[in-house]
Amino acid sequence: MTPAPLILIVEDNEQNRKLVRDVLQASGYRTLESESAEEGLRLALEQVPDLIIMDYRLPGMDGITAMAALQNDVRTRKIPAVALTASAMPADRDRMMAAGFRAYRRKPIKVQELLSVVREVLDTV
């Protein structure tokens, strides 16, 4: 039996991280969690998740810089990532997509939209 997909959640807001974790686990996914991009990069290298869901604005290293680091490493460059953001500006969306995120979702998090984008991205891997 194939294990459920492993999803790394990189989100500094505890409530958002818990919501994403609970929704994903209730839907049968396995999860890893990180509060920072730096820790998320370490976990991505160690665990090689099937998908990363990452906040765009993180303390320290931001999501764009973290995405660049993922794409510059042969071990993590093929891991798809979805950005979470409170920003609704088209320029920010363009930056996220240009950085290599496969998709993005705005906060506040809508459960069905999140699950839909997770399934959609995992189906293209």
**Model pTM?**
0.96
The pLDDT assigned to 24 comes to: 98
Number of Cβ atoms within 10 Å of the Cβ of 74 = 7
CA separation for the pair 8, 41 (Å, rounded): 10
The pLDDT assigned to 93 comes to: 86
The pLDDT assigned to 90 comes to: 84
Backbone angles phi and psi of 56, in degrees to 5: -75, -40
CA separation for the pair 46, 48 (Å, rounded): 6
Domains of the chain by start residue, with CATH: 6-123 (3.40.50.2300)
CA separation for the pair 52, 74 (Å, rounded): 16
The pLDDT assigned to 125 comes to: 82
- What one-letter code names the amino acid at 79? I
Inter-residue contact 85 to 106 (CB < 8 Å): yes
The residues near 80 (Cβ < 8 Å, ≥ 6 apart) are 51, 52, 102, 121, 122, 124, 125
The pLDDT assigned to 91 comes to: 87
The pLDDT assigned to 42 comes to: 98
Backbone angles phi and psi of 26, in degrees to 5: -65, -20
Q: List the chain pLDDT tens, one digit each, 125 residues.
A: 889 999 999 999 999 999 999 999 999 999 999 999 999 999 999 999 999 999 999 999 999 999 999 999 999 999 999 999 887 688 888 999 999 999 999 999 999 999 999 999 999 98
- What would the two tokens of residue 112 be? 């069905």
The pLDDT assigned to 81 comes to: 98
- From the list 69, 1, 28, the residue with the least C-alpha distance to 54 is 69
